[in-house]
Amino acid sequence: MDNWTFGLTLMFVGMGGTMTALAFLAILMDLLKRVFPVKEEQKE
């Protein structure tokens, strides 16, 4: 494998891993919002 192929492969793996981690965090935050919804304060 030459340098260009290795560099491009490493770039795509790194970007793919980053996007996968961000998607996982977004799904986790959405799930936590559904499990623990924000309660509005009651005004008297």
Residue 40 has a pLDDT of 82
Q: How wide is the angle at C-alpha 18 spanned by C-alphas 21 and 36, nearest 5°?
A: 25
Find the mean pLDDT for residues 8-35: 97
Sign of CA dihedral 9, 11, 16, 17: positive
Find the mean pLDDT for residues 21-40: 94
In whole numbers, what is the pLDDT of the chain averaged over residues?
Answer: 93
DSSP 44: -
Task: For 42, list phi and psi in degrees, rounded to 5.
Answer: -85, 130
pTM: 0.70
Tokens standing for residue 16: 């793919």
Cα separation, 14 vs 22, whole angstroms: 12
Q: How confident is the model at residue 43 (pLDDT cuts 50, 70, 90)?
A: confident
